[in-house]
């Protein structure tokens, strides 16, 4: 392709002007070489294209008709319009490159559910929200059904509602208790859940209730839920289940999870562990795109100028303890709604992970409690989560609605790693990336090693470093689209941007790493052409992290896009990787051309 001759002008100090040439997007040398290898006399036929797609892209099931459809779809390109009918059965290097860099050449397979969905719920990672009704921070933001609607439309399958009596004690509101958050009526949240529950996925929605109600208001909740959801509400009765149902059997059903209700003691205030000073203290400033994700041992992956320390001293208590004596106070119609019983048994932490062969339950731990527990009870947690459900939630001092490293929970089999979905940052990007798998349905079958026991009843030990299972080779060729999606002075008022790429793995500790390309100065279409290798000991839990930043000598580097992709579903070959904003919204034009190879 020929170079463009037009130039872009930047003003400096209102007097001087700098002019930079705008070059057209041109195929990398490796793409040109592959085209030469799979073409003849500058033309790639249907057979050539099919051979390329099978041998390089590893699309073994591709037919001649599929290859022909790709060529037909490229027939509208300007470069092909002048060719005769015979030539249109082939494509040029320009068309070949445009196909590789097109939205149809995605790094993940077409969105469809392909995991076995007939196993018990405890066999799946489930897309889980925390305080799903909050519009912002944990202390003073408004409560609304809007964030619930947004989460469900993204594919989140677990919605958490904190339910409290209103000021007159005659109705039920949703709010973050003992804070300045403004409430929203429960009935409004329930109606939004019903309306949007299955827009993104037909698999079940779980409503986890943090209950602070009197028995008469519990009865009112039961009436609201029954009337709102009708036949789609799954009610197993008051007895605990011996095994959880499967996602397949619960398609388009709503299920309730909460602790066995206890009496609401109006005269007694529940004390928080955190002090007033801690309540007003954020974990740190998540400027621009957020702090770096720590690894499974709590150590930051990288220590560059964008990282921020995290205060880990104290946490708020999630009031999820069940008092067996409290069942006598419960409204029976409310108890019958509960499918997934929650609560912690009396005793120490080790007792919490005891498996009852006669019934299953849900256990909730804060991220900090989990971090401590995995150091001593790692294998017990894995065994517990083979039958029971473990929910992990953010610690109390995350008042800025930030999140934590979800891999700590997932590597130990935790199904409900609960996140604040209304925020942004690197941890949330991992959550988005994980649940792009399995067609984005919100349920991902856990790897077999987290579900199976050995011949001597042994289970997977997350603390043991395993041998490398496979190596992922990543080539970062180039990027484009910023010139179209951003104002031309967004990154730098005086010159084109200086982009670099961070690429790496989020996974078990042995696999977690981030690497970086060189910085290319003054270029809207950066052409890095750099290769990286990532040895993976547990590829089943690995996520490929990709970030683009613009280097700033004097200030914090500017954000240029990100994505996170499940390695287990990553397609081999040369792929166009679309990038997303800080909030996780896909850009219209910004994408990278990359190659993925598995050894």
The answer to whether residue 176 is catalytic is yes
Please list the residues that pair with 563 across neighbouring strands. Answer: 546
Question: Which SS3 state, helix, strand or coil, does residue 347 take?
Answer: coil
**How far, in Å, CA of 162 to CA of 172, rounded?**
10
Q: Which of 82, 106, 123, 130 is catalytic?
A: 130
The Cα 383–Cα 385 span in angstroms is 6
Q: What angle do CA 534, 564, 154 make, to 5 degrees?
A: 155
Alpha helices in 388-461 (DSSP H): 407-410, 426-434
Burial 117-133 (b: 16+ CB within 10 A, else e): bebbbbbbbbbbbbbbb
76, 78, 114, 176: the active-site residue: 176
State the Cα–Cα distance between residues 246 and 447, nearest whole angstrom. Answer: 16
How many other CB atoms are there within 10 angstroms of residue 149's CB atom?
Answer: 17
Between CA 166 and CA 183 the distance in angstroms is 9
How many CA atoms, within 13 angstroms, populate the side-chain half-sphere of residue 479?
35
DSSP 155-207: T--EEEEEEEE-TTSSSEEE--TTSSPBPEEHHHHHHHHHHHTTSS-SSPEEE
Q: What angle do CA 328, 333, 336 make, to 5 degrees?
A: 90
Q: Pick the closest to residue 117 from 244, 299, 213 (CA basis).
A: 244
Here the tokens at position 552 are 């700033």
115 an active-site residue?
Answer: no
The SS3 call for residue 308 is coil
State residue 118 phi and psi, 5-degree precision: -100, 5
Closest CA to 200 of 230, 158, 157: 157
Q: How far apart are CA 223 and CA 104, in angstroms?
A: 48
Please, are residues 127 and 158 in contact by the beta-carbon 8 Å criterion?
A: yes
- Single out the residue of 300, 301, 304, 305 nearest to residue 504, CA to CA: 301
| Contact status, residue 580 vs residue 562, Cβ threshold 8 Å | yes
Reduce the secondary structure of 110-129 to three states and give it as a string. CCCCCCCCCCCHHHEEEEEE
Q: Which residue bears the tokens 């970062």?
A: 476
C-alpha to C-alpha distance for 322 and 463, rounded to whole angstroms: 31
Point out the residues that are catalytic.
Answer: 130, 176
């Amino acid at each position: 392709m020929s170079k463009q001759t037009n130039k872009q002008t930047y003003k400096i100090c209102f007097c001087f002007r700098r002019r930079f040439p705008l070059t057209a997007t041109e195929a990398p040398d490796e793409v040109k070489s592959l085209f030469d290898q799979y073409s003849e006399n500058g033309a790639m036929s249907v057979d050539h294209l099919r051979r390329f797609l099978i041998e390089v892209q590893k699309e073994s099931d591709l037919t001649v008709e599929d290859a022909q459809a790709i060529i037909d779809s490229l027939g509208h390109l300007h470069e092909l319009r002048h060719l005769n009918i015979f030539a249109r059965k082939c494509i040029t290097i320009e068309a070949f490159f445009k196909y590789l860099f097109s939205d149809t050449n995605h790094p993940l397979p077409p969105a469809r559910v392909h995991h076995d969905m007939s196993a018990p719920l405890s066999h799946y990672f489930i897309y889980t929200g925390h305080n799903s009704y909050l519009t912002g921070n944990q202390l003073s933001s408004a409560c609304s059904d809007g964030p619930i609607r947004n989460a469900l439309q993204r594919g989140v399958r677990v919605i958490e509602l904190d339910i409290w009596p209103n000021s007159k004690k005659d109705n039920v509101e949703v709010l973050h208790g003992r804070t300045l958050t403004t409430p929203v009526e429960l009935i409004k949240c329930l109606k939004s859940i019903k309306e949007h529950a299955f827009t993104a996925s037909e698999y079940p929605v779980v409503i986890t209730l943090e209950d602070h109600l009197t028995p008469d208001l519990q009865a009112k909740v039961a009436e609201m839920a029954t009337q709102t959801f009708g036949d789609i509400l799954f009610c197993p009765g008051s007895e605990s289940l011996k095994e959880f149902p499967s996602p397949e059997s619960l398609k388009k059903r709503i299920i309730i999870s909460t602790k066995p209700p206890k009496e609401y003691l109006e005269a007694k205030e529940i004390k928080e562990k955190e002090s007033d000073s801690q309540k007003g203290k954020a974990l740190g400033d998540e400027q621009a795109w957020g702090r770096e994700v720590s690894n499974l041992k709590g150590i930051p992956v990288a220590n560059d100028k964008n990282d921020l320390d995290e205060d880990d001293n104290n946490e708020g208590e999630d009031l999820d303890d069940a008092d067996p004596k409290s069942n006598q106070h419960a409204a029976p119609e409310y108890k019958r709604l509960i499918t997934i019983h929650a609560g912690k048994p009396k005793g120490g932490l080790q007792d919490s992970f005891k498996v009852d062969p006669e019934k299953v339950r849900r256990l909730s731990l804060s991220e900090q409690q989990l971090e401590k527990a995995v150091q001593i009870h790692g294998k017990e947690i894995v065994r517990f989560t083979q039958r029971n459900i473990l929910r992990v939630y953010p610690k109390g001092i995350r008042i800025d609605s930030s999140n934590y490293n979800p891999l700590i929970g997932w590597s130990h089999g935790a199904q409900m790693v609960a996140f604040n979905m209304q925020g942004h940052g690197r941890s949330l990007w991992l959550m988005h990336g994980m649940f792009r798998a399995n067609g984005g349905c919100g349920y991902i079958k856990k790897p077999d090693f987290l579900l199976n026991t050995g011949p001597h009843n042994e289970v997977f030990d997350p603390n043991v470093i395993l041998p490398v299972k496979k190596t992922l080779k990543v080539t970062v060729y180039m990027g484009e689209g910023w010139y179209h999606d951003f104002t031309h002075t967004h990154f730098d008022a005086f010159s084109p941007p200086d982009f670099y790429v961070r690429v790496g793995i989020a996974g078990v500790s042995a696999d977690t790493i981030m690497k970086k390309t060189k910085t290319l100065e003054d270029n809207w279409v950066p052409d890095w052409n750099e290769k990286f290798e990532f040895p993976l000991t547990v590829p089943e839990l690995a996520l490929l992290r990709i970030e683009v930043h613009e280097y700033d000598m004097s200030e914090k580097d500017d954000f240029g896009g990100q994505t996170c992709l499940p390695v287990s579903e990553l397609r081999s070959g040369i792929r166009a990787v679309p990038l997303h904003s800080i909030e996780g919204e896909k850009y219209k034009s910004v994408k990278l051309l990359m190659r993925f190879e598995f050894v």
